[in-house]
Amino acid sequence: MQLIEQIEVGSVYMFEIKKGLPLLGCRLIDKWAYFGIYATVCHEMVLKIYQYVYEDKPLIEVVLNRQNYSTGDIFHIAISGIEEGYAYTWQTIDEKGEKSMPLIDPYARSLSAFPKGSNHYKNLVLRDNLYEGVHPNIPWEETIIYEMHVGAFTKSPTSGLELKERGTYEGILKKLPYLKSLGVTTLELLPVFKWNKHTLANKHPITQETLQDEWGYNTIAFFALQEVYATNKNALEEVKAFRNFVKTVHENGMEVILDVVYNHTGEGGQDGTTFNFKALAPDTYYKKQGNHYRNDAGTGNTINNMHIVTKQLILDSLYYWVICMGVDGFRFDLASILAQNQDGNWYEGSLLEDIASDPVLSHVKLIAECWDAKGAYDVGRMPYPFAEWSDIYRDTMRRFVRGDKGMTSAVARCLLGNEIQFKDIRKDKNHTIQFITAHDGFTMWDLVSYSHKHNTLNGEDNRDGSNNNYSDNYGEEGETHNVKVLEQRKRRIKNFFTLLLLSQGVPMILMGDEIGRTQRGNNNAFCQDNEISWMDWELVEKNKDLLDFVKNMIGFRKESLCFKKANGHELKITFHGVNYNEPDWAYHSCSLAEQIEVKEEILYVVMNNYTELLKFEIPKSLKGWELIIDTSKEESFTKSSIRRTDTHYLMNPFTVCVFKLLKK
């Protein structure tokens, strides 16, 4: 039986304490709050309890020594009378008696800056509750992902929302009718975990203000949310806002996927800020190379995914977001790192394999970015059932639509959804995430408006961001009023969307591409919290023709049998050229035709990315063909009732057409 002591605080509070159990984090069980933290490099730990988060003086302060209050390297204690909403901090004490700064509990469910506006935090006591909403469980073959930044989606005044709603979960909920009408099924949120925004030394070249990380890829807590995305920014309100967000999205028939960063943290390298991991157990949480932190993520440190404590931390975090918060899956940033050993090489028995074989996690949507910052490239290597980002698709389609030669065979593989050669034979086209643009790089409008990046406002003299964009401005660099240039740009965008949504993999659309969102040529807008990165809602009307086209394309994909589960019906795809049954795979070929057949439905997709008119032979049919799409026309999505009984169709340059066999 554990020895129970009593602590009297004034004449009002009476607390009992005991050693408790080696449970990590803070758990409310019956009348007890069990606190536990893993630490290897300290002599003692100090736990301070606050009734209110913004109090200076703690209600309780307990020093935990290794003899009486630890089991191995876990310091732990149980205290009665602690309620949800209380705050607490941990501090290490070394052998000289020196205390560290107050530390973030790696298992904290919520954090609050103290003092307000600072980069220091108190941990909040929160009871875990099971998420009881209904998941849509959308099959992969019916999934259309919409990658979005929570803040940038509605932060612009053009969103028409109240000021307090802009840039929040509540703001997205107000725009759910827009997202539903667009037709996307799955919202993939850029990082929402608590992150260190103050990692940059770069100055804005005009204002000279120090820039901040606005994307969230410098996580400092794997269970806690960034409160900036909640309308009410008081303690614990961000948790309520997120749970309500997920529940409401589910009620509207859509899913929520989180972009998660478990490959590094926002503590940086040797000289970076300390929040918790460095002070508690640096050799456990980080990979070392000699006396220095490995830097496989390009941010100063690399998570030690081989250590059982770190592995368990990440698995526990994933469980929390699925079981308690209701999310439907994860996209793993720089996932290759999670499968690498201490030397940065791929190894068997990795954290990725643990996730892939987990009885719960293996049943949510798992997506991997299959590379790291040091040059590892593992596309096709991720364990089943991970889906994988296809940079092969991205680069192939960009080059083909631009008019590059030598692309037709690669395009055919992309259309089939088999451009990735998976090592696990259980994987198929539904494990390929296909995209033209993502948060990292040009928007689609900028892809057809800029021949090179324009990142000077990032404060790095335009050195940051990729130089390999496969973009073109089609006559003028940047924004223009030239009608011919604008027509060429919109046609290319329609070509991109047509090919993406008629490919056999899982399509992902970048926020705002459907309305021509621009970042003014900035292809690395991670530090821009302004009009550069914000969604401009005035474009909904300005580019209504483009938006309507994308809506129609998504609707067409959903209705077609050619992109659904086969259910015993054979999917037959054949390729052709200008002449039927004569595909031209030669280097100089810039044209391709594809016939897709399922049951009685037949589509004929024709692509002319040549500089001149081309006459394509159309398969003979007694019933005739209906022209569905011609991207060279102002009304590109025609749903024309005109029967094409002719044997040929004359196509404009840089155009995609889609024909559907008439049933009557």
> Which sign does the torsion angle of CA 390, 392, 397, 398 carry?
positive
What is the mean pLDDT of the segment spanning 17-29? 96
394/405 Cα distance (integer angstroms) = 16
Task: Give the count of beta carbons closer than 10 Å to the beta carbon of residue 450.
Answer: 25
pLDDT in the model for residue 640: 58
pLDDT in the model for residue 643: 67
- CA 236 and chain centroid, separation: 24
146/159 Cα distance (integer angstroms) = 18
> CB of 107 within 8 A of CB of 26?
yes
Task: Give the count of beta carbons closer than 10 Å to the beta carbon of residue 2.
Answer: 9
Reported as a single tens digit per residue, the pLDDT across 422-439 is 999 999 999 999 999 999
> CB of 329 within 8 A of CB of 366?
yes
Confidence of residue 2 (pLDDT cuts 50, 70, 90): low
pLDDT in the model for residue 623: 82
379/389 Cα distance (integer angstroms) = 8
Q: Does the structure show a pLDDT above 60 at 316?
A: yes
Q: Where are the beta strands (DSSP E) in 517-664?
A: 571-576, 591-598, 601-608, 614-617, 625-630, 643-644, 648-651, 655-661
pLDDT in the model for residue 29: 94
Residues 6+ apart with CB under 8 A from 527: 200, 202, 211, 212, 213, 214, 458, 459
CA separation, residue 217 to residues 189, 242, 269 (Å): 12, 19, 15
CA separation, residue 141 to residues 137, 506, 551 (Å): 12, 7, 18
Confidence of residue 351 (pLDDT cuts 50, 70, 90): very high
Instruction: Return the H-helix or E-strand segment holding 411.
Output: helix 408-416
Catalytic member of 147, 227, 369, 446: 369
pLDDT in the model for residue 647: 86
pLDDT in the model for residue 641: 52
Confidence of residue 86 (pLDDT cuts 50, 70, 90): very high
Q: Does the structure show a pLDDT above 70 at 178?
A: yes
Whole-number CA gyration radius for the chain: 27
- Model confidence, pTM: 0.97
Counting residues of the chain whose pLDDT is more than 90, the rounded percentage is 91
CA separation, residue 126 to residues 34, 48, 85, 89 (Å): 12, 16, 6, 14
Q: Which of these ranges, 75-89, 522-536, 585-599, 628-642, has the smallest mean pLDDT?
A: 628-642
Task: Give the count of beta carbons closer than 10 Å to the beta carbon of residue 651.
Answer: 23
Q: Which of 134, 288, 317, 116 is nearest to 222 (CA)?
A: 317
Q: Does the structure show a pLDDT above 70 at 112?
A: yes
Reported as a single tens digit per residue, the pLDDT across 445-475 is 999 999 999 999 999 999 999 999 999 999 9
Q: For the chain, how long is the longest CA-to-CA vector?
A: 95
pLDDT in the model for residue 395: 98
Q: Does the structure show a pLDDT above 70 at 642?
A: no
Task: Report phi then psi at 592, rounded to 5.
Answer: -160, 145
What is the rounded average pLDDT for all residues in the chain?
95
Active site residue 461: no
> CB of 303 within 8 A of CB of 263?
yes
137/253 Cα distance (integer angstroms) = 9
662/664 Cα distance (integer angstroms) = 6
Residue carrying the six token digits 């969307």: 497
265/296 Cα distance (integer angstroms) = 12
What is the mean pLDDT of the segment spanning 609-617? 96
Preceding amide of 385 cis, omega within 30:
yes
- 255: which strand partners? 186
Task: Give the count of beta carbons closer than 10 Å to the beta carbon of residue 269.
Answer: 14
Q: Where are the beta strands (DSSP E) in 391-513?
A: 432-435, 506-510
Q: Which region holds residue 329: left if phi is over 0, alpha if psi is between -120 and 50, else beta?
A: left
Reported as a single tens digit per residue, the pLDDT across 225-244 is 999 999 999 999 999 999 99
- CA 599 and chain centroid, separation: 36
314/337 Cα distance (integer angstroms) = 13
76/73 Cα distance (integer angstroms) = 10
Active site residue 476: no
What is the mean pLDDT of the segment spanning 13-36? 94
pLDDT in the model for residue 638: 74
Take residue 453 and report the two structure tokens written for it: 């990046």
Q: Does the structure show a pLDDT above 90 at 3?
A: no
Q: Which of these ranges, 39-43, 102-106, 182-186, 643-647, has the smallest mean pLDDT?
A: 643-647
Catalytic member of 227, 328, 333, 472: 333
CA separation, residue 379 to residues 31, 501, 508 (Å): 50, 22, 17
Percentage helix, strand, coil for the chain under 3-state DSSP, each rounded to 5: 25, 25, 50
